[in-house]
Amino acid sequence: MSDVDLSSEQYEKHREAGEILAQVREEAAERVEVGVSHLDVAEWAEERTRELGGEPAFPVNISIDEEAAHATPSADDETTFGEEMINLDIGVHVDGWLADTAITVDLSGHDDLAEAPEAALDAALDLVEPGVETGEIGARIEEVIDDYGYNPVVNLTGHGLGRWEQHIPPNIPNRAVSQSVELEAGDVVAVEPFATDGGGKVSEGGDEQIYALDREQSVRNRDARKALEQITEEFRTLPFATRWLDVDRPEMALRRLERQNVVHGYPVLKEDDGALVSQKEHTIIVTEDGCEVTTER
């Protein structure tokens, strides 16, 4: 991809998505305070994205303490923020071209743990250029988080971003790995270090509020059919929230679609030891001599 045109419409839309997202991330983070509703912050950020000319690429993830990903409030969620470690993971797309970012808002008093992934991300981005191995980036992330006295979450990775696709190759590990690939000019990737004071692995919990389309097929149930029409028209293959569906009983409609293998859910991911997890993420475009961070203001 050495002759890639980084001024093409595709990359301009990635940049536009990133610019919107950087603003939404900062404004949403400022709204996170003890006593504020998770649902209020999530819905505010999603609506703010639309006001600025983008669309949510996935539901706002609000992960608390040991949660690492895939937590978003339900339509009737009354949960409020406490003195906790809070990760906001937000995505924006413009005509299907994506940007993805995350930030830790620490209300728990664990400043060093909140700082560790941010420092690791800065160090990782300093390495990025065409030809660098993704394993080298992972090793640098692991080294910085280790220097802070914490562990990276080893079974979560950064990832490429495509059109209407949130996760494509290459994966960007958060630790040293023996098998990796070289980055190329024109790659659009999300680099997202996670740090924890636990062992460094996450597993699926029980709750699911986020889903994505697997395949289209005929569906007999009226509500399930209506939900599928909305999914294919509005969200395509991008993740969506149960609370986004305009049907009377969205949970039941999704259960029907899941049983028919039309959609799949994303269970909340939690650190195995119940330990705190922090996160920082930027989307970048690999350039001829380094990288351009699209989600930085």
For the question of residue 281 being annotated catalytic, the response is: yes
Binding residues: 70, 89, 100, 159, 167, 192, 281
For the question of residue 167 being annotated catalytic, the response is: yes
Q: Say how many residues make up the chain.
A: 297
Of the listed 142, 192, 208, 271, which one is catalytic?
192
Of the listed 16, 19, 66, 281, which one is catalytic?
281
For the question of residue 159 being annotated catalytic, the response is: yes
Q: Is the dihedral of CA 273, 269, 285, 179 positive or negative?
A: positive
Binding residues for a divalent metal cation: 89, 100, 159, 192, 281
What does the DSSP assignment read for 42-97? HHHHHHHHHHTT-EEEEEEEEEETTEEE-----TT---B--SSEEEEEEEEEETTE
Of the listed 16, 55, 67, 100, which one is catalytic?
100
What is the edge-to-edge ordering of all strands in the sheet holding 290-293? 165-172, 158-162, 188-191, 282-287, 290-293
Binding residues for substrate: 70, 167
- Please give the C-alpha separations between residue 129 and each of 43, 126, 153, 223, 230, in angstroms, as whole numbers: 36, 9, 24, 49, 40
Of the listed 89, 187, 208, 271, which one is catalytic?
89
Whole-angstrom distance, CA of residue 289 vs CA of residue 297: 21
Of the listed 14, 93, 110, 159, which one is catalytic?
159
Phi, psi of 175 (to 5 degrees): -155, 170
Of the listed 146, 167, 229, 258, which one is catalytic?
167
Whole-angstrom distance, CA of residue 238 vs CA of residue 93: 10
Question: 10 Å Cβ neighbour count for 88?
Answer: 24
For residue 105, which of 77, 90, 84, 78 has the smallest C-alpha distance? Answer: 84
For the question of residue 192 being annotated catalytic, the response is: yes
Token look-up 């808002």 returns 105
For the question of residue 288 being annotated catalytic, the response is: no
Kindly state the DSSP code that residue 113 receives in the 8-state scheme: H
Contact between 62 and 41 (Cβ < 8 Å): yes
Catalytic residues: 89, 100, 159, 167, 192, 281
